[in-house]
Chains A and B, each alone.
Chain A
Amino acid sequence: MNIVVCVKYVPDATADRRFEDDFTVDRVGVDGLLSELDEYAVEQALQFREKREGEEITVTALTVGPEKAVDAVRKALQMGADSGVHVVDDAIAGSDYLGTSLVLAKAVEKIKADTGADLVVCGMASTDAAGSVVPAMLAERLGMPQVTLASVVESQGDQVRIKRDNEGSTEVIGATLPIVLSVTDQSGEARYPSFKGIMAAKKKPLETWSLTDLGLDADQVGLSVAYTQVEDTTARPPRTAGEIVTDEDGSGAGALVDFLASKKFI
Chain B
Amino acid sequence: MSEVLVVIDHAEGEVKKPTYELLTIARRLGEPAAVFFGSPEQGDAVAEKVKKYGAAKVYVVDDAQIKGYLVAPKAEALQQLAEKTGPAAILLPSTFENKEVAGRLAIKLGSGLITDAVDVQEGGVTTQSVFAGNYTVQAKVTTGTPIITVKPNSAAPEEADGAGAVESFAATISDVAKTAQVVATQPRQSTGRPELTEAAIVVSGGRGTGGDFAPVEGFADSLGAAVGASRAAVDSGWMPHAFQVGQTGKTVSPQLYVANGISGAIQHRAGMQTSKTIVAVNKDPEAPIFELVDFGVVGDLHTVLPAATEKVKERKG
- Chain A contact residues, CB within 8 Å of chain B: 13-14, 17-19, 23, 37, 96-98, 101, 124-125, 127-137, 139-141, 143-149, 151, 161, 165-176, 179, 184-186, 226-236, 239, 241-247, 250, 252-257, 259-261, 263, 265-266
> Are the CB atoms of A172 and B139 closer together than 8 Å?
no
A169: contacting residue among B113, B132, B187, B295, CB under 8 A: B187
Which B residue's beta carbon lies closest to that of A149?
Answer: B96
Cβ contacts A to B, 19 pairs, < 8 Å: A130-B116, A133-B99, A139-B104, A149-B96, A170-B185, A174-B183, A227-B111, A227-B112, A230-B137, A236-B129, A236-B133, A245-B296, A256-B295, A257-B312, A261-B315, A263-B277, A266-B223, A266-B312, A266-B315
| Cα–Cα, bound, A239→B136 (Å) | 14
The 10 A-B residue pairs whose C-beta atoms are closest, nearest first, are A247-B299, A227-B112, A253-B307, A133-B103, A136-B100, A145-B179, A253-B308, A242-B294, A227-B143, A172-B184
| Cα–Cα, bound, A141→B134 (Å) | 33
| Cα–Cα, bound, A233→B70 (Å) | 34
> Are the CB atoms of A169 and B188 closer together than 8 Å?
yes
Interface residues on B, range: 35 or more
> Are the CB atoms of B103 and A148 closer together than 8 Å?
no
Which B residue's beta carbon lies closest to that of A235?
Answer: B135
Chain B, 128-154, contact with A by CB distance < 8 Å: what is the 0/1 string?
A: 011111111111111110000000000
- Which residues of B sit under 8 angstroms from A98, Cβ to Cβ? 106-107, 112-113
- Contacts beyond the supplied A227-B106, A231-B139, A247-B300: 17 A-B pairs with Cβ under 8 Å: A17-B135, A97-B113, A132-B100, A139-B72, A140-B103, A168-B11, A169-B186, A227-B111, A228-B113, A228-B142, A232-B137, A236-B135, A236-B273, A242-B278, A246-B285, A252-B298, A266-B223
Chain B, 271-301, contact with A by CB distance < 8 Å: what is the 0/1 string?
A: 0010001110100010000111111111110
Q: Which of B72-112 contact A (CB under 8 A)?
A: 72, 75, 95-97, 99-104, 106-108, 110-112
For the complex formed, measure the closest distance between the CB of B27 and the CB atoms of chain A, giving whole angstroms: 22
> Are the CB atoms of B279 and A259 closer together than 8 Å?
yes
Which A residue's beta carbon lies closest to that of B197?
Answer: A167
Q: Which of B1-50 contact A (CB under 8 A)?
A: 11
Which B residue's beta carbon lies closest to that of A180?
Answer: B180
> Are the CB atoms of A233 and B278 closer together than 8 Å?
no
- Chain B contact residues, CB within 8 Å of chain A: 11, 70-72, 75, 95-97, 99-104, 106-108, 110-116, 125, 129-144, 176, 179-188, 201, 223, 231, 234, 240-242, 247-248, 255-256, 266-267, 270, 273, 277-279, 281, 285, 290-300, 303-305, 307-308, 310-312, 315-316
Which A residue's beta carbon lies closest to that of B108?
Answer: A140
| Cα–Cα, bound, A147→B102 (Å) | 16
